[in-house]
Amino acid sequence: MEQNLTMFSLKGKTALVTGANTGLGQGICVAYAATGANVIGVARRSCQETAEKIAAISGNFTEIIADLSDTNIIPRIVEEANKVYGRVDILVNNAGIIKRCDSVDVTIEDWEAVININEKNVFFLCQAFAKDWIPDKQGGKIINIASMLSYQGGIRVPAYTASKSAVMGLTKALANEWAKYNINVNAIAPGYMATNNTQNLRSDKQRSDEILSRIPAGRWGTPEDLTGAAIFLASDAASYVHGFTIAVDGGWLAR
Ligand code: NAD
């Protein structure tokens, strides 16, 4: 039977990806450009490497430098993003930080830093785009990056666990309100991926061995491993998928 693969194409769509300069965000940017999307990367620092990877495949990429620890930055991001290609169709809330520390030693500053980027500004970015998308009736796709710690407690990362559990909850809450406007709000929960986020874990031989031995696939994930789910959720193929978090975890949650 012939399959209609054009439903997976992002040709002519514009995607905004936060945390676009490294790791999973960079991988998603390159994959989106490869499937035809115009990509806007938001990052604290230059997205030079991401821009070069996309230029190498003749894709379109623009960066917006912004610090997502500050909620007041959001109107500027939305305004600049809408100017670049006319409209943003896909929002990927990928930027995130993690701070490892015994729960009894967590400071208010560290707690707020994690919650602001991983949770608060995820919500307000979703809200900002939905405010445009609801009246213009053209729908939109939101993909939030969750975590295994949306399902589990983790060890010595309480603010991160709180924020990523919130991401999964918010994904459902916003889907319930916005599905009727053809806005798909979904999430991806990466397993243990080899990026800066897990650098400390991977350099701790004992923790690294413990983690690896529990991953059925027998290896850490890569940014490329995440791109299939990211393309699917951004595409027309996912138009009836609402409020769901897809785990891309080498089988971790199945154990
Ligand atoms: P990473 O550290 O390479 O990427 C984090 C990104 O967030 C970077 O691009 C960084 O510039 C951006 N960022 C951080 N603070 C920012 C700020 N104040 N303003 C703007 N951008 C900011 O690690 P990663 O693994 O690619 O992480 C991407 C997302 O995936 C994060 O939300 C992370 O929590 C999540 N995640 C990662 C793993 C993993 O195993 N690597 C697992 C589950 C979830």
Q: What are the tens digits of pLDDT across the range 9-41? A: 999 999 999 999 999 999 999 999 999 999 999
**Distance between CA atoms of residues 194 and 181, nearest Å:** 36
Known catalytic residue: 151?
no
The pLDDT value given to residue 201 = 87
The pLDDT value given to residue 130 = 98
**Distance between CA atoms of residues 93 and 121, nearest Å:** 9
The pLDDT value given to residue 4 = 80
Residue to substitute in 195, 199, 201, 245 for testing ligand 1 pocket (most ligand atoms within 8 angstroms of CB): 195
| Residue given tokens 């190498």 in the structure block | 56
Q: Ligand 1: distance of its center to the CA of 234 in Å?
A: 19
Q: Quick count: other Cβ atoms within 10 Å of Cβ 220?
A: 19
Of the residues 151, 160, 181, 192, which is catalytic?
160
Contact predicate 41/20, CB 8 Å: yes
Q: Which atom of ligand 1 is nearest to the CA of 192?
A: 40
Contact predicate 142/230, CB 8 Å: no
The pLDDT value given to residue 197 = 87
Report helix, strand or coil for 188.
strand
Residues of the chain with pLDDT under 70: 1-3
**Residue with the nearest Cα to atom 39 of ligand 1?**
193
The pLDDT value given to residue 233 = 98
Q: How far, in Å, are 2, 63, 178, 210 from residue 217 at the CA level?
A: 31, 35, 36, 14
Q: Which atom of ligand 1 is nearest to the CA of 191?
A: 42
196 lines ligand 1 (CB under 6 A): yes
- pTM, rounded to two decimals: 0.97
**Residue with the nearest Cα to atom 32 of ligand 1?**
96
Residue 102, both tokens: 């015994």
The pLDDT value given to residue 11 = 97
The pLDDT value given to residue 3 = 67
250 lines ligand 1 (CB under 6 A): no
The pLDDT value given to residue 8 = 96
